Amino acid sequence: MDEVGPNESQELEDESLGRWQPSQLAFGVYSADGNSVKKSQALRVVVRKPLVARLTKDIVETYQICNPQFKYSEELNPKRYLTSPSIGVLNDGLDNVNSDLILAVNYALVNLETEKRYIVKDVLGHGTFGQVAKCWVADTNSFVAVKIIKNQPAYYQQALVEVSILTTLNKKYDPEDKHHIVRIYDYFVCQRHLCICFELLDTNLYELIKINHFRGLSLSIVQLFSKQILRGLALLKDAGIIHCDLKPENILLCTSVKPAEIKIIDFGSACMENHTVYSYIQSRYYRSPEVLLGYQYPSNTNYNIIQPLAFKYTTAIDMWSFGCIVAELFLGLPLFPGASEFDLLRRMIQILGFLSQALARVIAVSKSDGSAISTSASLIQTGNKEINMFLLRKFVGGTS
């Protein structure tokens, strides 16, 4: 008779008792001594990254696997220029022919005094003053807008005025940021260009109207924005500052707060009310009558003689621009889309009627076709009817 092993005898004993147990050859008794945990820890699952990831964002690691001696340097990257034209002509090749600093992606604007670095990521816009770049600040882990002024003395000096005005508004008149004026964070000179750092804002009101297919905004939104613009203008009046270029493009949304707010930007043309410098100010669609009519004359001046006097304007010109902006927000189109100053004055008279006694001016036409006009500095006290008929004949085509 064959011998019975211990496992088989155990099985026979279990069968005699009516119990079935699996064979010890295939199954083992579970024990909580930690051996199974150690075995599971010994097992490792290797997950391979997708091929697309290895060949794009992880391409450097892929190259280093193929060649351990491979080293990557951002300085050797092909530059993606953001400034056009991007050919260096001025300032030792750093500026283009327009005196703009040639910017590329990841170009570093450095404040040498504080050693703060602003890494350029994109260009938000450009104009006669220079360009505005979207920059990353690693110290604060945030984006900012940096206005880079052209490398020309006139723009540099005017930009310093902008810095002075905004610093005064932010620190003295609006330290708690409640009057919808853009915040200035820093300013410095980099590569002979004055750089001004602002808070990063969103879309301007013109783009908002454009997104709405020029159909105008709802009355509730127009009221909301109008109140906020008025708070900013009230602050400017208290400070005796004239913006001089108020328009939808210079009013930006601030979406970082809820509900959305607006902020007034671009004080590059601003001046103090007691120190008006320029006579050619304000964008045409939003230009006030007193600025539009230009040179000034005394009330008794002959129409054919041009004798320009000192021209003074006040914060009232910003209120005219404000009225034009509110109308455009509601209508979706400019209220006075004049193709020229002549056309602009004609549209004003068509919509608002003849100049009132308070706004009447003596107008001298320097050309027979009426293409160039200028006016007097003093208000007309008498002869309002005669002046209105003169305007009618020259600009509307009426008869006396």
pLDDT tens, 16-30?
555 666 666 555 566
Over residues 283-295, the mean pLDDT reads 85
Q: Is residue 112 part of a domain?
A: yes
- Region 29-43: mean pLDDT is 58
Residue 99 covered by a domain: yes
**From CA 70, how far away is CA 63, in angstroms rounded?**
7
Pairing of strands 108-111, 116-126: antiparallel
- 178 and 215 in a common domain: no
Q: Give 90's DSSP letter.
A: B
Domain boundary pick from 153, 170, 199: 199
What six digits make up the tokens of 25? Answer: 């050859």
Letter for the amino acid at 322? Answer: F
245 is catalytic: yes
- Residue 157 three-state SS: helix
Q: Write down which residue in 165, 199, 233 finishes a domain.
A: 199
**Token pair belonging to 315:** 């914060």
* Residues 363, 386 within the same domain: yes
Domain presence at residue 44: no
Do both 234 and 308 map to the same domain?
no
Model confidence at 259, pLDDT cuts 50, 70, 90, reads confident
Q: Is 267 contained in some domain? A: yes
Tell me the one-letter amino acid at 7. N
Residues 189 and 218 reside in one and the same domain: no
Q: pTM for this one?
A: 0.72
Q: Average of pLDDT values for 138-149?
A: 96
Q: What are phi and psi of 375, to 5 degrees?
A: -140, 180
CATH assignment of the domain containing 103: 1.10.510.10
State the residue range of the domain holding 376.
Answer: 288-312+341-400
Is it the case that residue 303 has pLDDT exceeding 80? no
Kindly state whether residues 323 and 239 are assigned to the same domain: yes
pLDDT, one tens digit per residue, over 195-245 is 999 999 999 999 999 999 999 999 999 999 999 999 999 999 999 999 999
One domain, residues 397 and 324 = no
Q: Please tell me the predicted confidence (pLDDT) of residue 352.
A: 87
- Return the bridge partners of 272, or none: 241
Same domain? 256 vs 330: yes
Contact present, 206 and 266 (Cβ < 8 Å): no
Q: How many domains does the chain have?
A: 3
Annotated binding residue 147: yes
**Range name among 41-55, 59-73, 74-88, 248-262 with the lowest pLDDT average:** 41-55
Is 268 inside a domain boundary? yes
Assess whether 187 and 230 both reside in one domain.
no
Q: Which residues fall within 8 angstroms of residue 96, CB to CB, at 6 or more apart?
A: 83, 84, 85, 86, 87, 88, 89, 90, 102
Of 179, 199, 219, the last residue of a domain is 199
User: Is 46 domain-assigned?
Assistant: no
Asked whether residue 328 is assigned to any structural domain, the reply reads yes
Q: How many CB atoms lie within 10 A of CB 320?
A: 19
Q: What confidence score (pLDDT) does residue 1 get?
A: 52
Looking at the structure, tell me whether residues 180 and 210 fall in a common domain: no
| Shared domain check, 225 and 187 | no
Is residue 376 over pLDDT 50? no
* One domain for residues 119 and 235: no
Amino acid 370: pLDDT: 42
144 close to 135: Cβ distance less than 8 angstroms: yes
Task: Tell me whether residue 329 is in a domain.
Answer: yes
Give the span between the Cα atoms of 347 and 335, in whole angstroms: 9
Distance from C-alpha of 7 to C-alpha of 74, rounded to nearest angstrom: 70
Same domain for 243 and 139: no
Residue among 100, 245, 266, 318 flagged as catalytic: 245
Residue 144, token pair as written in the block: 């900012």
